[in-house]
């Protein structure tokens, strides 16, 4: 007695089909035995499958049921196998016609009463099926909309194991969902609750945000408490260019494999904005765990990772940012396996200038010793600071600005300038190119300086003790400023503005 069924498993942000082989062995040792590299969560599914089969009105076989999951060399995690396991056991016991299982893949977690619960990773599973020979998928009803983001599959939404059996017997109805289909994708019509028009004054910081959004640059705000750093940062997504359909699918896939889509199942069209608390662990930030999950850096993919009060984060947490900031991806090693998750985000951070917060403030004195200030800033100095293209002072707002009734410029106006600058970058660097991610070898070609600008940069490198990386980052920011101005070449004014966004180098240079 042998029956074969199919389910699917997630690995990284991809997925693959898993073959479920079930044999019955007549012995008194009744129950399910899973062989192969099965994770503890699959061991737990034995109990659920057993109970669900009985409470759905079927019989549990009165002999030993041996289950093999293939390929055996890949570790499989999660509860998504329950439904396929139950169906294949029923087929092996001839309560179901075994050959009917051949052309259908089933995913879903079973509850003890036989109902089917939603699972994570449905989007990558649907994408992977499209590339395989399997075209029919039994999905938990609540995951239908997510699976329907991929066209070309026949989807059977089920609420219960009994309904899944009906599908296999040819009595199920394919489900349709038009929820958020990519064809109807239009991220441009987006509405943001938090708009830059609410922020008074702070012209310099607003301009820096525009430059950062236009070129994809990392940005650090430095200023005293209450100057509006957090308020500004939260409005960054409202001025970033709309996501393309491919970007939206990638972001949605990451949320799907993180189990964060279970209750919405929509295509995510807003750029992510992640603001982890400063107590976040290195693993939660980078990703990992016994069942690997994307971390905050990946949940911020194509969007913003905001580190509010950056100096409060642990050194270990800040350290893990270096690889994704350089590569746009993180690799997690776990039990000899390496999984790579995309992590191409804009780093946005805020910082008080010193422990008390008032160093350099016009009205309030700072009570910190120079040693305390140096220790405070040392945490984010060096390699990490080098990777932040722009540091900008956000001073206390003058009373005139605070009391003005005039509304500031709205985000959508800023965004239209940002979009125009991005278009120039795409023409120059290809469909996904940004100045921040421009390959070093293209710098010479696209960021050439004229005879007046070159000495200015040379002087800044000398005076601010800039590293080669910081030098290149200034050139990239200058390129973006020129793009916002619609200029073909980088002019002295563009370069001077870019150098001005290195305030931390400046304060260190004076020490």
Ligand X SMILES: Nc1ncnc2c1ncn2[C@@H]1O[C@H](COP(=O)(O)OP(=O)(O)OP(=O)(O)O)[C@@H](O)[C@H]1O
Please provide the distance, in angstroms rounded to a whole number, between the alpha carbons at the two ends of the chain.
80
Using CB under 6 A as the binding rule, whether residue 226 contacts ligand X is answered as yes
Q: Quick one: how far is CA 258 from the chain centroid?
A: 10
Among Mg ion, Zn ion, ligand X, none, the one that 283 touches (CB under a kind-dependent 5 to 8 A) is: none
User: For ligand X, which stretch binds (CB under 6 A), given 179-187, 225-233, 237-245, 424-432?
Assistant: 225-233
Give least dist CB 380 to Mg ion, A.
16
Residue closer to ligand X, measured from CB, 182 or 201? 201
383 binds, among ligand X, Zn ion, Mg ion, none (CB under 5 to 8 A by kind): none
Among the listed ranges 42-50, 103-111, 228-236, 276-284, the one in contact with ligand X (CB under 6 A) is: 228-236
377 near Zn ion (CB under 5 A):
no
Nearer to ligand X, 122 or 356 (CB): 356
Backbone φ, ψ for residue 137 (5° rounding): -130, 125
Environment class of 39 (CB within 10 Å of its CB; exposed 0-12, middle 13-18, buried 19+):
middle
DSSP 389: -
Side-chain-side CA neighbours of 54 within 13 Å: the count stands at 10
Residue 133: how many other CB atoms lie within 10 Å:
7
Residue of 280, 329, 366, 496 interacting with Zn ion (CB under 5 A): 366
Interface residues with Mg ion (CB under 5 A) are 230
Per the CB < 8 A criterion, the answer to whether 266 and 145 are in contact is: yes
Q: Does 207 bind ligand X (CB under 6 A)?
A: no
Site membership for ligand X, residue 201 (CB under 6 A)? yes
Q: Choose which of 19, 135, 200, 387 interacts with ligand X (CB under 6 A).
A: 200
Least separation in angstroms between CB 15 and Mg ion: 39
The least CB distance from residue 352 to Mg ion, in Å, is 9
Q: Which residues of 269-293 are buried (b: 16+ CB within 10 A; e: fewer)?
A: bbbbbbbbeeebebbbbbbbeeebb
Is residue 199 a contact point for ligand X (CB under 6 A)? yes
Q: Are the C-beta atoms of residues 23 and 93 closer than 8 Å to each other?
A: no
Please report, as residue ranges, which positions from 341 to 370 form the binding site for ligand X (by CB under 6 A).
Answer: 350, 352
Residues 456, 462: contact at Cβ < 8 Å? no
Nearer to Mg ion, 274 or 422 (CB): 274
Q: Is 368 near Zn ion (CB under 5 A)?
A: yes
To the nearest whole angstrom, how small is the minimum distance from the Cβ of residue 336 to Zn ion?
A: 48
Name the percent of the chain in helix, strand, coil, to the closest 5. Answer: 40, 20, 40
Stretch that binds ligand X, among 179-187, 197-205, 317-325, 375-383 (CB under 6 A): 197-205
Q: Three-state secondary structure along 285-326?
A: HHEECCCCEECHHHHCCCCEEEECCHHHCCHHHHHCCHHHHH
Radius of gyration for the alpha carbons in the chain, expressed in angstroms and rounded: 28
- Residue 215 in the binding site for ligand X (CB under 6 A): no
Taking CB under 6 A as the rule, does residue 235 contact ligand X? Answer: no
**Among ligand X, Mg ion, Zn ion, none, residue 231 binds (CB under 5-8 Å by kind):** ligand X
Indicate which of Mg ion, Zn ion, ligand X, none lies near residue 372 (CB less than 5 to 8 Å, by partner kind): none
Cβ at position 81, least distance to Zn ion in Å: 57
Distance in Å, CB of 355 to Zn ion, minimum: 6
Residue 90 engages Zn ion in binding (rule: CB under 5 A): no
- Kindly state whether residue 435 participates in binding ligand X, applying the rule CB under 6 A: no
- CA atoms in the 13 A half-sphere facing the CB of 112: 2
Query: Does the protein bind ligand X through residue 228 (CB under 6 A)?
Result: yes
| Nearest to ligand X of 332, 354 (CB atom) | 354
Q: How far is the CB of 366 from ligand X (least distance, A)?
A: 14
Sheet holding 219-222, edge to edge: 273-274, 304-307, 346-351, 219-222, 390-393
Quick one: tokens of 311?
């100096």
Minimum CB distance to ligand X smaller for 231 or for 443: 231
- Output the CA–CA distances (angstroms, integers) from residue 148 to 117, 154, 287, 291, in the order listed: 17, 9, 28, 26
Q: How far is the CB of 310 from Mg ion (least distance, A)?
A: 11
Q: Which is nearer to ligand X, 261 or 414 (CB)?
A: 414
Q: Do 161 and 110 touch, CB atoms closer than 8 A? A: yes
- Cβ 507 to Mg ion shortest distance, Å: 20
Distance (Å, whole) CA 103 – CA 99: 9
* Contact flags string 372-401 toward ligand X, x per CB under 6 A: -------------------------x----
Computed from CA positions of residues 248, 253, 255, 260, in that sequence, does the dihedral angle turn out positive or negative?
positive
Concatenated DSSP letters of 315-368: HHHHHTTHHHHHHSEEEEEETTEEEEEE---EEEEEE-SSSSS-TT-SSS----
Alpha-carbon gap, residue 35 to 76, rounded angstroms: 12
Return the residue of 359, 415, 422, 479 that touches Zn ion, per CB under 5 A. Answer: 359
Residue ranges in contact with Zn ion by CB under 5 A: 354, 356, 359, 366, 368
Residue ranges in contact with ligand X by CB under 6 A: 199-202, 223, 225-231, 350, 352, 397
């Amino acid at each position: 007695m042998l029956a074969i069924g199919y389910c699917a498993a997630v690995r990284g942000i991809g997925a693959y089909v898993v073959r479920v082989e079930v044999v019955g062995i007549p012995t008194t040792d009744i129950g399910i035995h899973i062989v192969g590299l099965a994770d503890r969560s699959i061991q737990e599914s034995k109990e659920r499958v057993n109970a669900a089969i009985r409470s759905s009105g079927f019989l549990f076989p009165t002999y030993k049921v041996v289950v093999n999951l293939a390929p055996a060399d890949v570790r499989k995690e999660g509860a998504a196998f329950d439904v396929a396991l139950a169906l294949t056991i029923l087929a092996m016991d001839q309560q179901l016609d075994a050959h009917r299982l051949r052309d259908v893949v089933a995913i879903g977690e079973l509850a003890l009463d036989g109902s089917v619960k939603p699972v994570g990773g449905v989007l990558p599973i649907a994408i992977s099926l499209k590339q395989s020979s399997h075209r029919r998928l039994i999905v938990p009803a609540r995951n239908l909309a997510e699976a329907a983001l991929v066209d070309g599959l026949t989807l059977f939404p089920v609420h219960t194991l009994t309904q899944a059996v009906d599908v296999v017997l040819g009595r199920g109805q394919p489900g349709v969902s038009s929820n958020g289909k990519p064809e109807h994708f239009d991220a441009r019509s987006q509405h943001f609750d938090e708009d830059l028009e609410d922020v008074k004054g702070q012209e310099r910081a607003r301009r820096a945000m525009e430059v950062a959004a236009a070129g994809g640059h990392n940005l650090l705000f430095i200023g005293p408490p209450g100057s509006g750093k957090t308020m500004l940062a939260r409005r960054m997504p409202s001025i970033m260019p709309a996501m393309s359909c491919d970007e939206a699918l990638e972001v949605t896939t990451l949320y799907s494999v993180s189990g964060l889509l279970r209750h919405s199942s929509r295509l995510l069209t807003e750029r992510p904005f992640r603001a982890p608390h400063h107590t976040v662990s290195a693993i939660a930030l980078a990703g990992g765990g016994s069942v690997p999950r994307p971390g905050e850096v990946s949940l911020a993919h194509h969007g913003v990772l905001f580190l509010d009060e950056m100096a409060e984060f642990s050194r270990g947490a800040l350290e893990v940012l270096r690889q994704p900031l350089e590569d746009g991806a993180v690799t997690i090693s776990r039990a000899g396996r390496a999984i790579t998750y995309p992590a191409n985000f804009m780093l946005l951070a805020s910082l008080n200038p010193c422990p008390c917060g008032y160093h350099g403030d016009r009205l309030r004195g700072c009570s910190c010793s120079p040693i305390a200030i140096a220790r405070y800033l040392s945490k984010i100095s060096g390699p990490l600071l080098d990777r932040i293209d722009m540091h900008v002072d956000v001073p206390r707002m003058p009373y005139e600005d605070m009391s003005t009734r005039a509304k500031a410029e709205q985000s959508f106006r800023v965004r239209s300038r940002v979009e125009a600058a991005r278009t120039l970058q795409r023409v120059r660097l290809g469909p996904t190119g940004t100045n921040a991610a421009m390959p070093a070898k293209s710098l010479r070609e696209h960021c050439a300086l004229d005879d007046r600008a070159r000495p200015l940069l040379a002087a800044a490198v000398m005076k601010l003790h800039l590293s080669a990386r910081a030098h290149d980052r200034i050139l990239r920011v200058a390129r973006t400023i020129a793009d916002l101005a619609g200029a073909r070449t980088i002019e002295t004014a563009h370069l001077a503005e870019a150098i001005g966004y290195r305030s931390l180098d400046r304060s260190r240079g004076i020490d």
